[in-house]
Amino acid sequence: MGSHASGVLAHHFHSISQQRAAHSLGMWLFMAQEIMFFGGLFTAYVVYRALNPLDFAVASSELDAVLGGVNTLVLIASSVTMALAVKYAQLGKKNMIVLFLIFTFLFASTFLVIKYFEYSAKFEHHTVPGYDFDFHVPADVIQKFELSPERIATMEKRAEVFFSIYFAMTGLHGLHVFIGMCLIIWLIFPAMKNKFNVDYHSPVENFGLYWHFVDLVWIFLFPLLYLLGRNIH
């Protein structure tokens, strides 16, 4: 009952370990839900890629793999800082938790800033579906594959499907990064008030799970969208 009085243990749990088990299982189930959520998109990607392999390779090689690669490194770095924040939360070291949460936040914002530049380039190049979409198959590809004018015309249409999938996947992922940043701010306040300790740290731990998931999605997105088929030229 002591833990109930301290306010850390909610009224309907009888022990800290029960509460922690519930929070942790809840978060894992939420992750399962997220996997199925993204899973629908990955399915759409796989189906369309299998149906139009060449078209997707050509459209995919338009993406900026350098910026995508830098962003991959940025997110991996953010996962490292997040893992450290969780570690320090388990040890109850207030200043270190806050420090590493801020690092994670900064990496996340870097990711979104880079993403912003990538997106604006798409608007300039008219590769945003439904917004003056105007894709041209590069001359070297036409030559290499001896494409007929009809084939070029369909390829330019299929490119719109690729960019639609690209924006849907990276957009949904970017939204998750943004939500993650909001959650970091939401976590920093209790961390500063020294709320997390050896007994109670599941908010940081569970957010860590979320953050690694967001990172992991990108680890799949980067090769699927940016790298597969770069050798087309």
Partner 1 sequence: MSTPAVAAQPPRETYINTDWSLRSWLLTIDHKRIAWLYLISISGFFVLGGFFALLIRLELLTPAGDLVSPDTYNRLFTQHGVIMIFLFLIPSIPAVLGNFLIPIQIGAIDVAFPKLNLASWYIYSLGGLFIVIALATGGVDTGWTFYTPLSSTYANSQVMWVAVGVFIVGFSSILTGLNFLVTIHTMRHKDMTWGRLPLFVWASYATSLINVLGTPVVAITILLVGVERMFGLAIFDPALGGDPVLFQHLFWFYSHPAVYIMILPAFGVISELMAGFSRKRIFGYNFIAASSVGIAVLGFIVWAHHLFTTGLSVYAATVFSALTMLIAVPTAVKIINWTTTMYQGSVSWDTPMLYALGFLGLFLVGGLTGVMLATLGIDIHVHDTYFVVAHFHYVMVGGAIMGFLGGLHYWWPKMTGRMYPETFSKLSALLVFAGFNLTFFPQFILGYLGMPRRYHAYPEEFQVLNIFSSAGASILGVGYLLPGLYFAYSLVFGEKAGRNPWGTVGLEWQIPSPPPPHNFVEGEEIVVTDAYDYEHDLIRDDLDRRVGPPRDAREVPVG
Taking a C-beta distance cutoff of 8 angstroms, is the pair 136, 147 a contact?
no
Residue number with CB closer to partner 1 (10 or 185): 10
- Give dist(CA 232, CA 143) in Å, integer: 12
Structure tokens at 230: 């770069």
- Give dist(CA 62, CA 127) in Å, integer: 9
User: Is the alpha carbon torsion for 67, 73, 76, 78 positive or negative?
Assistant: negative
Longest dimension (CA), the chain: 78
**Token pair 């997105």: residue:** 221
Q: Which 41-80 residues touch partner 1, going by CB under 8 A?
A: 41, 43-44, 47-48, 51-52, 55
User: Is the alpha carbon torsion for 86, 92, 98, 100 positive or negative?
Assistant: negative
Among 5, 50, 124, 130, the residue binding partner 1 under the rule CB under 8 A is 130
Residue number with CB closer to partner 1 (31 or 80): 31
The nearest distance, CB 111 to partner 1, in angstroms, is: 22
Task: Determine, following the binding rule CB under 8 A, whether residue 164 of this chain makes contact with partner 1.
Answer: yes
Task: Determine, following the binding rule CB under 8 A, whether residue 3 of this chain makes contact with partner 1.
Answer: no
Stretch that binds partner 1, among 30-38, 66-74, 144-152, 225-233 (CB under 8 A): 30-38
Task: Determine, following the binding rule CB under 8 A, whether residue 203 of this chain makes contact with partner 1.
Answer: no
Note the residues at the interface with partner 1 (CB under 8 A).
Answer: 10-13, 18, 21-22, 25-26, 29-30, 32-34, 36-41, 43-44, 47-48, 51-52, 55, 129-131, 154, 157-158, 160-161, 164-165, 167-168, 172
